[in-house]
Amino acid sequence: MRLLHRSSSWRALFADDTVPNPATWPAVLEPLRAALERLGPHPDLAVAHAWQAEFATALERLDLPAGRIGQLLSDHNDWLYRRAIELSLAEMRAQGWGAPPVAFCVLVLGSGARDESLLAPDQDNAMIIADYPDARHTEIDGYFQSLGERFTARLDAAGIPLCQGHVMARFPMWRKRLSEWRSQLAIWTAERRVKRVQQANILLDFRPLYGEPALAEGLAGQVAEHLPGAHLFLDEMASLLDELPVALDRLGRLRGSVEDAPHARALDLKRQGLLPMVSAVRLLALRHAVRPPDTRSRLAALVMREAITAAQAEALSAALERLQGLLLASQRQALAEGRVPDGWVDAGRLGEDQRLLLRHDLREIRALVRRVRRGG
């Protein structure tokens, strides 16, 4: 079996809280060195976030594939999150709040947790707080409510907007003690109810970002132990895949959703390409107690569990890579034209070879969704 997924030394670029010093880098890394020098060693959050378009361009000039660029943009967003949290904690200490009263862990959710962020993410985050006595709830939760409000406001001011669905640690729904998260997960997965499945779906792609990672590991263990047996919940999750049709008509031709489309040639490749694939792979991962949150690692783990073949995993990984490439190119074009980047791709700007590959990839994704929908 070919190697399906491997780590990369590129992922060390933003592994700590200092901007990399490129002074000693070899000449082959000149595009990235120049971009980092223009950023400077101590940028504020807004400047660092605005720099991401230049960062993506430099990585593309180094011939990095879109999937790797997405990983590095996700890493950079993690760096922005950590800085926002640290600045907020320092501000709270200066105002007399003191140190955090108990251990906590901030989670990144969604595309950030899957290392699949491109140039237009909003905030999706949550917080796990170590268990504490009910008698201290007002004191302790008040501290973490203030922390959540502060760091999400800082990120919003820097250009990573607040989540319109309120999926952020500033809200009690997404800020709980570990025992409360376990209870919440049990409630969400006990029945076949659409709203509860939708809420759980938001949580089930998560990764520790700041604080005590053992709290996140405790929740991940609960998911891996409990979800494979939650058959009614998983059945409803499978039925919800019908709400994410791929951008093909019945004859296999490219066809976007007319709803909210900016023009007749627009394809919503985020909603009608990436999301169906990500959702189907997530459901398979839950059925087989696969823990990694990112799609590529899930595909590799599913091969090891014999849930899919290596050939299927490689085809889906290639489809994910190409979809991300089309979306990233479209988002960079939007920025160059002064528009806000989004999930739409103009099919009229694609070459014939790109359209043929896109049709092929979407057919692979549709076949996966149908197989998973049937319980395969």
On whether residue 164 sits in a domain, the answer given is: no
Which residues are within 8 A (CB) of 305 and not within 5 positions of it... i.e. 6 or more apart? 288, 290
363 token code pair: 């057919």
In a domain, 151, yes or no: no
- In one letter, which amino acid is 58? A
What's CA 17's distance to the chain center, in Å? 20
At 342-376, the pLDDT tens digits run: 889 999 899 999 999 999 999 999 999 999 998 86
Q: Which domain holds residue 305?
A: 244-376
pLDDT at residue 226, rounded to an integer: 87
How far apart (Å, rounded) are the C-alpha atoms in residues 95 and 250? 61
Least confident window among 22-36, 56-70, 131-145, 350-364: 22-36
278 in any annotated domain: yes
Interval 99-111: pLDDT, tens? 999 999 999 999 9
User: What percent of the chain stands above pLDDT 70?
Assistant: 96
Beta bridge partners of 126: 107
Higher pLDDT, 17 or 262: 262
Residue among 144, 217, 209, 151 nearest 176 (CA)? 144
Mean pLDDT value across the chain: 91
Averaged pLDDT, 199-226 = 93
In a domain, 189, yes or no: no
Is residue 170 in some structural domain?
no
- Would the pLDDT of 186 be above 60? yes
* pLDDT recorded at residue 19: 64
Residue 11 CB neighbour total at 10 angstroms: 14
> CA–CA separation, 361 vs 246, rounded Å?
10
pLDDT single digits (tens) 220-256? 999 988 899 899 999 999 999 998 899 998 888 898 7
- How far out from the chain centre does Cα 258 lie? 26
CATH of the domain at 336: 1.20.120
pLDDT digits (tens, 9 = 90+) for 189-203: 888 888 889 888 899
The model's pLDDT over 268-291, given as tens digits with 9 standing for 90+, comes to: 999 999 999 999 999 999 999 999
Q: What was the pLDDT predicted at 4?
A: 47
Tell me whether residue 144 is in a domain. no
33 inside domain: no
Cβ 192 vs Cβ 236: under 8 Å: yes
Q: What is the pLDDT of residue 3?
A: 43
**pLDDT above 90: residue 29:** no
Say if residue 170's pLDDT is above 70: yes
pTM for the full model? 0.91
Angle ∠(200,301,277) on CA atoms, nearest 5: 55
**Range of weakest confidence among 163-172, 178-187, 253-262, 275-284:** 253-262
Q: Which residue has the tokens 């009910």?
A: 134
- One-letter-per-residue 3-state SS of the chain: CCCCCCCCHHHHCCCCCCCCCCCCCCHHHHHHHHHHHHHCCCCCHHHHHHCHHHHHHHHHHCCCCHHHHHHHHHHHHHHHHHHHHHHHHHHHHHCCCCCCCCCEEEEEEHHHHCCCCCCCCCCCEEEEECCCCHHHHHHHHHHHHHHHHHHHHHHHHHCCCCCCCCCCCCCHHHEEEHHHHHHHHHHHHCCCCHHHHHHHHHHCCEEEEEECHHHHHHHHHHHHHHHHHCHHHHHHHHHHHHHCCCCECCCCCECCCCCCCCCCCEEECHHHHHHHHHHHHHHHHHHCCCCCCCHHHHHHHHHHCCCCCHHHHHHHHHHHHHHHHHHHHHHHHHHHCCCCCCCEEEHHHCCHHHHHHHHHHHHHHHHHHHHHHCCC
pLDDT band of residue 1 (cuts 50, 70, 90) is very low
Handedness of CA 18, 109, 288, 305 (dihedral sign): negative
Q: Is residue 310 part of a domain?
A: yes
pLDDT higher than 60, residue 5:
no
What residue has token string 């809420």?
199
Per-residue model confidence as pLDDT tens digits over 315-327: 999 999 999 999 9
Residue 132: is its pLDDT beyond 80?
Answer: yes
Q: Which whole number is the average pLDDT over 159-171?
A: 95
Cα separation of 242 and 367, whole Å? 13
Q: How many domains does the chain have?
A: 1
